[in-house]
Structure 1
Amino acid sequence: MQEDAAPFFIGPHRFDADDDRTRPLLDRRYALLPEPGEQLLGQHRLLVAGHLLGPTDDLRSWALPTPAAVTLTDRRLAYVCTGSELSLVSGRDGRTDARHRRPVRLSRLVSGQIRWQWPSRLEVSEGPDGTGELRVVCDALRTIRQPALALAGPAGLIAALAQQVRRSVAAYRLARPDLVDLSPPERDTLVVRMGPAPGPTRGALTLPGSLPVEFLSRDDYYRPALAEPPAWPRQDVPARDRPGSAC
C-alpha cells in the first residue's frame, strides 16, 4: 500500500493502522460513530493537510481538496472528507432515481484521526486575511521529523478549537495515569492546560505526556522527501468500498 493511499498516514508516519480495529468508524451518512462512553465536543468544517516537520524544513505531504468534517471528542480528533467527486455516483447507465435503479458504487472517502495520547504540542498561527491554522504536532520514534495535522479556517474558530483541543488532551491524560508515567511537573502543567483560562492565541504550546507515533515500515525511514505534495484523492489508486469503514 502506498504511503498516501490511506488517510491514516501523514507522510510515512503512522497515525493509525489500516487493520487497526480502533480506526474511525462511520455511519451511513459518513458521520463519526462514537465509541462506547465517548463524548462529542464539537463539529466543524475545516481545510485539512498533513505535514512533516524537521529542524529546518516544513514539508506539506498532502492536502485534502475540499473542507473536511472535523469532529472533536474527549478521546480524539477525527476528520472525514467527502465532496461532489467523492459521493455516490451512478453506474454506467447514469440514472439512479427510484424508477430507473442502476448499480451504484461508493467513490473515495477520506478519513483519519489523532488520538489524544499522541500530540506533543499545538501550534497556532493567524494570516493577514483573517484565517488561522492549528497544527497538531506529534513526535515519532527513531527520527527527529514530526508528523503534524494542519487545520485551517476562520481565525476565531481556530483559536477556540486550539483551546478545546488543549483542554481535552490534558483531561484525557490526567484521567489515565496508566497510559504514561507523568512527573509531578508534567502533571502540574497538564492541570494548568486543562483549566478554563484562555491560552495563547498564537505560537506553540507543549502537551506533556505524549506517546510517539511510528513509521509504517523500516523502509519508510529512508524514503526521500517528495518535492511536491501528492494530490488527494489519487487518481491511480482504486477506491475501496467498505460500508461502515473509515476508508
Structure 2
Amino acid sequence: MFHQHFLSTTGVDLGPLDAGERVLWQGRCAVAEYAFDEASSLPRWTLPEETEVVVTDRRVRYTYADDTTLSSGELFWLWPQHLRVQPGNRDTGRNATVTQIQLVCTGPDGSYPALVFAGGSVTSVGEADRLANVMRQAIARFRVENANEIGVPAVQSRMLSRLVIGPEFNNYVGGKGQTVNLLGAVPVPGPETAPVYAEATTSYDESGYDNHAYDDTVYEAEPVYEQPVSAVPTSAGMGYPGRPGAAADAIRAEQAMRAEQDSRYAEPDLASRAATLAARVASLLSDAPDNPDRGLLDGQSNNLSAYLNSRDQNR
C-alpha cells in the first residue's frame, strides 16, 4: 500500500506563507506525485493545469480549488535529492511526451517519491528550464544558509554554493534531459504508526459461571504490555481445566491465599487473643499484694470482657 507524501487532506488550507518568506516564481500547471522506484507506475494523485503553484525560498506550494473541493500540498527544500528537466518530443498520439520538471526525493523503506510539474506555465522547454533554474538556486541557497541546522558537511556546502551560480538548465525538444544531484537532502518522513492495543473485552463474574450470570461492564482497552494479571478475564467455567485464562486464575488464587495468611498473622483469632489476655491478667494478679480492703489492682478491673471487646488494647 503506497502512501501520499506531498498532498494534504482534502479541504485543508495551508494558510499564509511564513514571515520573511520570499516568492520567487508563481504560475499555473499540472502537479502529480509518482513513485520513481516503481517501473511504469501510475500517479498517486494528480491536480489539473489550473493548479496555482508558488515557489519560495523555502518550498514549493500548490493549491487547486473549485466549487466543491480544495486540494493543496507542499514540498520543502529539505527533501529533494534530484532535480530533473525531461523535455517532451514532437510526436503525437501514444508516443507523445510532455515536458516535465521532476523533484525526486528519498522516502522510507527505499522508496523514491517524486513531485512532477507539467503543462500550463511550463508547457515549453524554455519555460521548464527557467522554473527549474529557480528551484535549483533556491534549494542550493537554502541548504547552504542552513547547513548547520540540516547537518550538511562543509565539503557538500561548497559544492552546493556552485549550484547557486550555475550551470543553468538548457534543454531542447526531444533531448535527453538534464539532472542535478542536490547534496544534503533529508529523507521524507514516513507515515506515523499507531500503537497496538488489546481488544476491549467483557469482564465476567466468576461467581456466577454455573448459572451463566455475568455483568455487562466493558472496560476500556489498554496497551497489552501494561495489562496486569489481575485484569486478564476468564472465558469459561472454573471446572474446565483447559479453558483460556486458567494460568491467570491460578496466579490470582495464590495471591488470595497469601493475602489470607498475612491477615491471619496480622490479626489472631478470638481464642488466641483471649488466652493471651488471660495469661497477662493472671500474671498481674499473682504479683498484686493480698489486700481484701481494695480491688485486685488499683485502677484496674478483673473483667476480661473489657479486654476482649477492646481491639486497640489487644494488639
Asked whether the equivalents of residues 13 and 213 of structure 1 are also in contact (C-alpha less than 8 Å), the reply is no
**Which residue is 1:134 aligned to?**
101
For 2:150, what is the secondary structure of its paired residue?
A: coil
Query: Matches of 1:187 and 1:171 in 2, distance apart?
Result: 9
Structure 2 contact 86–100 (Cα < 8 Å) conserved: yes
Look up the match of 2:283: none
Match of 1:147 among 113, 122, 133: 113
Q: State the partner residue of 1:99.
A: none
Counterpart mapping for 1:97-108 below 5 A: 107-108=68-69
CA distance in 2, matches of 1:177, 1:66: 35
> Is residue 190 from structure 1 mapped to residue 173 from structure 2 by the alignment?
no
Cα gap change, 1:57/1:128 in structure 2, threshold over 3 Å: closer, same or farther? closer
The structural deviation recorded for 1:66 is: 4.0
| Contact kept in structure 2, 1:13 and 1:140, CA below 8 Å | no
Query: 1:109, 1:79 → 2: CA distance?
Result: 11
Output the amino acid matched with 1:144: G
Does the alignment pair 1:112 with 2:82? no
> Contact 1:50–1:147 at 8 Å: present in 2 too?
yes
The question of 1:52 aligning with 2:35 is answered yes
Identity among equivalent positions (%) equals 25
Per the TM alignment, residue 200 of structure 1 is displaced from its structure 2 partner at its CA by 5.0
**How far 1:189 sits from its partner (Å)?**
1.9
Please state whether the residue corresponding to 2:44 is helix, strand or coil.
Answer: strand
SS at match of 1:179: helix
Code of the aligned partner of 1:138: C
Aligned mates of 2:82, 2:19 — CA distance in 1: 27
Aligned partners of 2:170, 2:150: CA distance in 1, in Å? Answer: 26
Matches within 5 A, 1:30-109: 33-54=16-37, 56-82=39-65, 86-87=66-67, 107-109=68-70
* Offset at residue 16 of structure 1 (A): 7.1
> What SS does the aligned partner of 1:36 have?
coil
C-alpha deviations, 1:68-91, integer Å up to 9, x for none? 110010011000112xxx23xxxx
**1:121 equivalenced with 2:82 (yes/no):** yes
Do 2:137 and 2:165's aligned partners in 1 also have CA atoms closer than 8 Å? Answer: yes
Matching residue within 187, 201, 204 for 1:212? 187
Contact 1:13 1:215 (C-alpha < 8 Å) held by counterparts: no
Q: CA deviation at 1:117?
A: 0.6
Aligned partner letter, 1:12: H
In structure 2, the partner of 1:179 is 149
TM-score by length of 2: 0.51
Tell me the distance in 2 between the aligned counterparts of 1:110 and 1:122. 24
- State the 1:193 CA deviation: 1.0
Higher helix share: 2
Check 1:189–1:59 CA distance in 2 against 1; reply closer, same or farther (3 A cut): farther
Q: Which shifted more, 149-158 or 69-78?
A: 149-158
Cα root mean square deviation, aligned:
2.5
Identify the residue that residue 14 of structure 2 maps to in structure 1: 24
What is the rounded CA distance, in whole Å, between the counterparts of 1:217 and 1:53 in structure 2? 22
Q: Between Structure 1 and Structure 2, which shows a larger proportion of strand residues?
A: 1
Structure 1 letter corresponding to 2:188? V
Q: How far apart, CA to CA, are the structure 1 residues paired with 2:47 and 2:5?
A: 18
Once residues 24 and 76 of structure 1 are traced to their aligned partners in structure 2, the CA distance between those partners, rounded to angstroms, is: 13
CA contact (8 A) 1:51 1:147 kept: yes
- More displaced stretch, 109-118 vs 194-203: 194-203
